[in-house]
Structure 1
Amino acid sequence: MTVVAALAERRQAAGLTRRFDDSGGFGRALLGGQFDCLPVREQPFAATLRVLRVGDMVVQQATTSAHVTRGGIAPGIAVLMMNLEAPQRPARVNGSEVGAAEAILALGGAEITSNSPRPLDWAALALPLPLLEELSELAPPQMRVRGAVSLLALRPDRAARLAGALSASRQLADDLPMLLETPDCAGNLAMSLREEVAAALASEAEFRPRPRAVGQALRIVAAAEALMEAQVERPVYTEELCAALDVSARGLHNAFRAVVGMSPHAYLKSRRLMLAHRALLCRQHSPDLVKSVALGHGFWHLGHFARDYRALFGRLPSETLAMRAASDRGHDRSPGWGMRAT
């Protein structure tokens, strides 16, 4: 079943609030695609995610600590993302800084890399692609849906109204769950969201062209990450990356800083730790599991692996195994709203 079909099955509204201290769990909880969330080293991860489903649309509003998110949007839907805070604390999506009167529009199949160097409030509206096309019919020709990921410049007053409509999910998900079951409430919420999206697109909005340097930086980071994952059992050094990608050390460093806000070494090491973290959560327990996972992901010194792992995830590898065992016993499942890609 597709995401669009699953969303269309349920017309009533519903709300949910969840809190996380594990970036992996937060990434898996995000709806509308498949996502990995990587915390920033030496900063404990914390996030609150509020999800509001109304009709065939889903609003996700989150307050997160610093992090990098990589992932892809599920086929058949569109996602409109906005920062909900002052522009002096910007985040970057696919290398483009997103200001207060700007939004990111991502279509199904698009790959997303977001870099939030500081705590951030953000919201995302997921809706079926045909609905987005319908809402954009009144927009000028240059605003018709195009491209996989686009940066939209909105009129400030319309951006503020749209951000206000999206951030209202905070109160609705937290405080008014019973009200959401009222048919009139669901209908009014759906109509309000549709009107704000349509008005924002039709009111002097425009696509911001992506600089060529940003596209090049995205390609360099993606190629470097693919090279690392192809030989994850050992570290990949800067000299190797430069030779394989035909880029200078400065060019490599600048690309990573622009896209993920870290040096190549720091980011790729964190990604290997994330892959090790995922392996610990997925494999069957054995006495030598931590050692085999560490060695299989290029960490040859187990003491350093444990130290770096705790610096990134806030717990030791052995504690992750204990958490996984407890989760298997309790198997706490979130509501099956059918909003994930299948």
Structure 2
Amino acid sequence: MSSKKREIDLHHLWQEQGTGGPAQEPLGRSECVRLRRTEDVYAHACHITAWQQLYDQLRPGAFQGELDEVWLKGLQFFRERTSHALHQSCMVWPGAFWFGIPFATQAQGYIGRRQIDTESIAVRPGGREFELSTPDDYGILGLVVDRGLLQEQLEFQGQAQTLCLLEEHTVLHLDAAHKQRLCMYIDEALEVAAKAPASMGTPAVGKQLSHELLLVLLAALQGAQTVDLDCSVTSLRKRQIVSRAREYVLDNPSDHVTVLDLCQRLHVSQRTLQNCFLEVIGRSPMNYLKAVRLNAVHRELGSPYSTFNTVQDAAMAWGFWHMGQFSRDYLTHFGARPSHTLAERARLSTAW
């Protein structure tokens, strides 16, 4: 554990040395089916096998997360539900492609600066960081396919050009019927896995299910179309400002970044910064900065890889100087005291 501890960055994603991928089982788990229910945003972000994820919980209150996940040969699929609005930094395991399909009745989220509407899916290759912004009570289906396996099948089916589409675009529009069929297959497979998890480990079942999912995915991708960026240049700039602000805060924990610091760093007025944050995430820059810093301390207190062993040290590292006010803010935001999170560190470490 000690060698890995030196490599972990609790506030930025880190690139694995080597090729990674499902065959190596980076988290050391061999079971095919995992069903998780969490009340901690940090633990929830750690649960998706072989991914790297950082979740910032933006709205105060006790978090609820659900994750149902199945691993087959060269293929991973899951259903995720989160109770609170989140800003996520994500990286899929190298040598793969991820397809993210929001629930049909879902409020719209964003991948980077692009909106994921009800007719579209999100796509990203493995080993590359991307950002997701999701609203309260969000649900999404995920399908991750080994790149070599997907490329082989695309070429065999005469769809080799689709690989370039997946590399270059983050959002694709799918035919409604094909998208519904893909969602149905994933949902039904997850339901069977939850009721009879041992069946997923049967070679015949695993092969049949993975091939059927691949066929449904290939059919959906055959008619996939790129999605034009439908927001204005002004809206894009506002999202970029918010994204750069978050990155700067996490890059400079000891500087206790303030609203004035962001204005100077991003070359914008306080009014412009305020408008950007209110439009993009519905919160003021000051409230957002506090949320990001609280989440950073939350990760430090909950992670076995943290170098901080006291609440005060972790809080002060992120600019919280009034311990009484910090404890109250922490309790309001996460529904638990910071001392409780620290005490639970050993239990939460099993998520890694």
Matched residues in 2 for 1:136 and 1:264: separation?
A: 45
Structure 2 counterpart of 1:266, which letter?
Answer: N
* 1:45 maps onto 2:66 in alignment: no
Shift of 1:250: 4.8
Structure 2 match to 1:339: none
Shift of 1:99: 2.1
After superposition, the CA RMSD in angstroms is: 2.9
* 1:299 maps onto 2:320 in alignment: yes
Structure 2 match to 1:175: 195
Matched residues in 1 for 2:104 and 2:31: separation?
A: 26
* 1:201 maps onto 2:249 in alignment: no
Deviates more, 1:186-195 or 1:147-156: 147-156
Matched residues in 2 for 1:213 and 1:165: separation?
A: 39
Shift of 1:105: 0.4
Structure 1 match to 2:21: 3
Q: Report the TM-score when normalising by structure 1.
A: 0.84
Matched residues in 2 for 1:197 and 1:165: separation?
A: 10
Matched residues in 1 for 2:240 and 2:204: separation?
A: 47
Q: Deviations over 1:46-85 (max 9, x none)?
A: 1111111122100021122123122223332111001123
Structure 2 counterpart of 1:183, which letter?
Answer: P
Structure 1 match to 2:257: 236
- Sequence identity, in percent? 25
- Cα distance 1:85–1:247, how it changes in 2: closer, same or farther (>3 A)? same
Q: How many residues align?
A: 325
Matched residues in 1 for 2:105 and 2:131: separation?
A: 21
Structure 2 match to 1:163: 183
Matched residues in 1 for 2:33 and 2:334: separation?
A: 28
Shift of 1:151: 0.6
Matched residues in 2 for 1:162 and 1:263: separation?
A: 39
C-alpha contact (below 8 Å) 2:193/2:199 kept by paired residues: no
Structure 1 match to 2:100: 81
Matched residues in 2 for 1:213 and 1:31: separation?
A: 37
Mark the runs of 5 or more structure 2 residues left unpaired by the alignment. 1-17
- Cα distance 1:174–1:13, how it changes in 2: closer, same or farther (>3 A)? same
Q: Deviations over 1:161-207 (max 9, x none)?
A: 1111222243133111122232221111111110111001102x211
Matched residues in 2 for 1:169 and 1:304: separation?
A: 47
Shift of 1:318: 0.7
Shift of 1:323: 1.1
Shift of 1:19: 0.7
C-alpha contact (below 8 Å) 1:107/1:148 kept by paired residues: no
- Cα distance 1:181–1:142, how it changes in 2: closer, same or farther (>3 A)? closer
C-alpha contact (below 8 Å) 2:59/2:84 kept by paired residues: no
Mark the runs of 5 or more structure 1 residues left unpaired by the alignment. 335-342
Q: Report the TM-score when normalising by structure 2.
A: 0.82
**Pairs within 5 Å for 1:61-76:** 61-68=79-86, 69-76=88-95
Structure 1 match to 2:14: none
Deviates more, 1:194-203 or 1:64-73: 64-73
Describe the SS at the equivalent of 1:226.
helix
Shift of 1:40: 3.5
C-alpha contact (below 8 Å) 1:52/1:172 kept by paired residues: no
Shift of 1:125: 0.9
C-alpha contact (below 8 Å) 1:27/1:36 kept by paired residues: yes
Describe the SS at the equivalent of 2:104.
coil
* 1:33 maps onto 2:54 in alignment: no
- Cα distance 1:149–1:266, how it changes in 2: closer, same or farther (>3 A)? farther
Structure 1 counterpart of 2:319, which letter?
Answer: G
